[in-house]
Structure 1
Amino acid sequence: MPAHRPSRLPGQAVATPEPPGHRPTGLARFNALPADEAERTLLACCGSSHWARRVAAHRPYPDLDALLAASDEAAYDLTPADVTEALACESLTLLPDGAYSAAHTALSAAHAAYESRFGHVFVICLDDTPPEESPDLVLTEISSRLTNDPDKELTLTAEELRRLTRGRLTRSVGDTDIFRGAGNGAIFRP
């Protein structure tokens, strides 16, 4: 009589045994982390503790798409306080080498005006922007968004954080050392 195999649901991931001494990387490593370490790891991608807890709680993820979907879902549910917490964790990135002093002056003034108006740093996801175009795009976007009312701007900021987080997660899952931290200059500081 053949051995009984447990049935598998459609779309369910099949676990394959790892060779002895194998150390998981990327998504497999993230899935295997203890909950508190997974949350700390996720905080490098988005500084909201609520978001990090939710994303960590839904592990294991079968693939990157599932992780990104969970990230998006948790990001869409961020409260204004959660967004404020995440913004407080954002580090400021310097302008690219060779940027003109006029760009530094213009961006400094734009950032100061933005922070004065909204009380938080300006965030924009630059994942699809060539580095040499980033300063112009940032200046254009800050100028455009300065006309927003605070509620609309908070919504746009939350969306930029969500996009930025997706990029960070995507880059991190492919790395040997998962979640090395912030990526792709989301905030410029002259």
Structure 2
Amino acid sequence: MRRAGLPGPAAARGALDRFNAASAAEAEELLLSCCHSRHWAERVASHRPYPTVDALLAAADEAGYDLAGRDLDEALAAECPVLPPPDAPPAARTALRAAHAAYESSFGHAFVISLDGVRPGERLDQVLAGIRSRLGNEPEEERSVAADELRRLARARLAFRLARDLTSHPAGA
């Protein structure tokens, strides 16, 4: 069964073909929009061509697992705090700002969490609960959790960018 929002196999082929045929600089630029580690982007781009979207996403995962300390620092430094939805109550906005500030003070980087598969109406609660639960982590434990969340984010962002590419370059166009 295919996840909502992801292209089917035939449709994804065109987006994958464009990614595989892109220049190294173009591929790395797209990848950097998913994870801000230059090393990660270069590694994923250098293994083209990928035979399937799943193979590309698996390579992105593998590269994410292998992020060295400075590569992870580079990627985390470019992440932005999760913003509340525009219709969030003022109290929720204040709670989220305070939670982000406490997290950044403790760990020195923005809080990262993959919300892939979380319904829009539940995302704010998920972010607040995540920050609160992870504030109790030791720095090395949290670094490991943040790296895993960053890997999930990069995978979801890459799948989204490929799907978005399909809308700007429909099959047969």
| TM-score (norm: length of structure 2) | 0.85
Name 2:15's counterpart in structure 1.
26
RMSD: 1.6
- Cα deviation digits, residues 126-171 of structure 1 (max 9, x gap): 0111111111111111010000011010000000000011111111
Name 2:43's counterpart in structure 1.
54
Structure 1: where are the runs of 5+ without partners? Answer: 1-23, 179-190
How far 1:93 moved relative to its partner?
A: 4.4
- Cα deviation digits, residues 60-108 of structure 1 (max 9, x gap): 0111110011101111100121111011222344311211111011111
Q: Do 1:80 and 1:154's aligned partners in 2 also have CA atoms closer than 8 Å?
A: no
Q: Do 1:46 and 1:161's aligned partners in 2 also have CA atoms closer than 8 Å?
A: yes
Match of 1:127 among 116, 121, 131: 116
Distance in 2 (CA, whole Å) between partners of 1:27 and 1:91 is 28
How many percent identity over aligned positions?
57
Alignment of structure 1 residues 127-166 onto 2, 5 Å: 127-166=116-155
Match of 1:168 among 151, 157, 161: 157
Name 2:70's counterpart in structure 1.
81
User: Which has more radius of gyration?
Assistant: 1
Structure 2: where are the runs of 5+ without partners? Answer: 1-12, 168-173
Name 1:38's counterpart in structure 2.
27
Query: Number of matched residues?
Result: 155
